[in-house]
Amino acid sequence: MADIIAKYAALINHIKASSPQVLENALKPIFKKAQFYVPEDTGALWESGKMTSGMANGKAFAAITFGNEEAWYAALVHEFTWLHHEAPTRSKFLQAAMEEGLDGIMDSLNLDYAALLK
């Protein structure tokens, strides 16, 4: 029984260790589309876009963020829907990318996690 428990523990540890990369892989198309949609008046907002992943408190995470000291206005540009942006840029640039990419995220997670089990 100890051998079986060790094998399950190893599998679980492998899945946990791989999860940040799996999550980042799933978000890459979302990030790319958000970068396509983000307004580029000065380029600062586009350059502030980041994707991060890792472990925090024993849990995997991945995140897409926009804004920094130079592009402090990121949330305003995202939320102010009455501002005009030249297409394809737009307000709600991250939200739109996330809504459009939801099915792709699920497909990516399924593929990557299934590959870990082989």
Q: What are the pLDDT digits (tens) for 35-82?
A: 999 998 899 999 999 999 999 998 999 999 999 999 999 999 999 999
Task: Give the pLDDT score at 32.
Answer: 97
Residue 118 has pLDDT above 90, yes or no: no
Q: What is the percent of the chain where pLDDT is above 90?
A: 84
Q: What is the pLDDT of residue 117?
A: 85
Q: Are 71 and 48 in contact (CB under 8 A)?
A: yes
